[in-house]
């Protein structure tokens, strides 16, 4: 395995993104015994993406715009968001809302990647962004698979990896849950080893391409030629398996996690930006109760054979109480 990974090691490049993240110390009380928990939420999924941006970035030359009305492009785009540590803003309809314009101006954005075709994000939004003096670049194909390829190709270009053989990771193209944790993990993977493109697998009978990583069980992505599969008995366990691999695969000692609703995607779509800045895996919860497997991970029991690994100290909940209730928050506070 080490020999395989060594072949993937690539020289990292300095990105042009100017980013200053807001320290947890600005938002959280000091505590040695309990978890530091914050909640980031807006009035809806679109405002939540704005709130995440405001709480995470002081400035960024680059931003990403994705549709908040479907999940495919935004979740694949999370691999790009996390790779270059930039905000992702969600839009809807045919016009760019003033709040989004104001945030792009506050961030001093110079370049925007638009994810998806004109059916997802119409030209009128692209034109509104350009009217702010911001250069736009649309990453889009005829369907979600081709759009994912375009996103992956841009990731390779930004990494300076063009000319290499492309490697792929698979997820269920019709199912959002496993992909929530996949994108941020692959963004971090890029900064350690190299680019692995995240591709929605649309074939329910068999894998139709070779995958280095697969996210989800065989009911999501059927067996085929894959090197590694992240899968659990539930979507919550699968996300924990991905989080565990931040240490076992990436050698990153995680002390922060992001928690999103594992039953619905809207608030979770923009979670990748803060996950990338904080080097934090994304975990899933039900709206009203914290799954036991997630609780065990946060407690940092010997369940995963950790040795001398940092405790989880910071929890970032994304979404309002309809997404993640105060009961889950209370369970988290009592989990240490």
Q: What is the pLDDT of residue 294?
A: 95
Record the pTM. Answer: 0.87
Q: What is the pLDDT of residue 182?
A: 96
Instruction: Tell me if 88 sits within 8 A of 64, measured CB to CB.
Output: yes
pLDDT in tens, the chain (336 residues): 433 333 333 333 333 333 333 334 344 334 435 789 999 999 999 999 999 999 999 999 999 999 999 888 999 999 999 999 999 999 998 899 999 999 999 999 999 999 999 999 999 999 999 999 999 999 999 999 999 999 999 999 999 987 778 999 999 888 889 999 999 999 999 999 999 999 998 776 667 788 999 999 988 888 888 789 999 999 999 999 999 999 999 999 899 999 999 999 888 899 999 999 999 999 999 999 999 999 999 987 444 455 545 789 999 999 999 999 999 999 998 876
Residue 255's closest CA among 309, 295, 308, 335? 309
Residue 260: phi and psi, rounded to 5, are -130, 165
Rounded to whole angstroms, the Cα distance separating 180 from 259 reads 10
Rounded to whole angstroms, the Cα distance separating 210 from 214 reads 10
Residue 224's closest CA among 213, 239, 234? 213
Query: Tell me, what DSSP letter sits at residue 72?
Result: H
Q: What is the pLDDT of residue 152?
A: 97
Q: What is the pLDDT of residue 25?
A: 37
Q: What is the pLDDT of residue 206?
A: 65
Instruction: Tell me if 202 sits within 8 A of 173, measured CB to CB.
Output: yes
Strand ranges of the sheet holding 314-318, from the earlier edge strand across to the other edge: 36-40, 314-318, 256-261, 282-285
Query: b/e per residue, 241-277, with b = 16+ CB within 10 A?
Result: bbbbbbbebbebebbbbbbbbbebbbbbbbbbbbbbb
Query: Tell me, what DSSP letter sits at residue 177?
Result: H
CA 82 to chain centroid, in Å, comes to: 6
CB proximity list for 44: less than 8 A, separation 6 or greater: 266
- Using DSSP, how many helices (H) and how many strands (E) does the chain show? 11, 12
Indicate the helix (H) or strand (E) that contains 116: none
Residue 272's closest CA among 48, 85, 45? 85
Look up residue 227 and give its two tokens.
Answer: 């090197």
């Amino acid at each position: 395995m080490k020999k395989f990974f060594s072949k993937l090691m690539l020289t990292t490049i300095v990105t042009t993104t100017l980013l200053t993240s807001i320290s947890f110390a600005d938002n959280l009380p000091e505590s040695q015994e309990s978890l530091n928990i914050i909640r980031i939420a807006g009035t809806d999924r679109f405002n939540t993406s704005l709130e995440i941006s405001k709480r995470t970035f002081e400035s960024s030359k680059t931003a990403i715009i994705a549709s908040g009305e479907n999940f495919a492009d935004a979740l694949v785009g999370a691999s790009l968001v996390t790779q270059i540590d930039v905000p992702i803003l969600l839009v809807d309809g045919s016009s760019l809302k003033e709040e989004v314009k104001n945030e792009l101006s506050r961030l001093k954005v110079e370049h925007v990647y638009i994810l998806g075709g004109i059916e997802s994000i119409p030209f009128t939004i692209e034109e509104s962004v350009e009217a702010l003096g911001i250069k736009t670049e649309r990453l889009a194909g005829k369907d979600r698979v081709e759009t994912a390829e375009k996103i992956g190709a841009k990731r390779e270009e930004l990494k300076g990896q063009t000319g290499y053989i492309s490697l792929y990771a698979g997820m269920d193209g019709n199912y959002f849950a496993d992909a929530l944790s996949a994108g941020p993990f692959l963004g971090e993977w890029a900064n350690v080893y190299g680019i692995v493109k995240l591709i929605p697998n649309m074939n329910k009978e068999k894998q139709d391409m070779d995958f280095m990583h697969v996210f989800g069980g065989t009911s999501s992505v059927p067996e085929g030629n894959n090197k590694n599969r992240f899968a659990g008995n539930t979507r919550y366990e699968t996300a924990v398996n991905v989080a565990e691999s931040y240490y076992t695969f990436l050698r990153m000692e995680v002390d922060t996690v992001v928690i999103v609703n594992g039953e619905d995607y809207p608030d979770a779509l923009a979670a990748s930006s803060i996950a990338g800045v904080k080097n934090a895996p994304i975990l899933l919860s039900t709206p009203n109760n914290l799954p036991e497997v997630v609780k065990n991970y946060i407690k940092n029991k010997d369940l995963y054979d950790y040795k001398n690994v940092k405790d989880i100290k910071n929890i970032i909940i994304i979404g309002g109480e309809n997404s993640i209730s105060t009961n889950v928050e209370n369970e988290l506070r009592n989990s240490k």
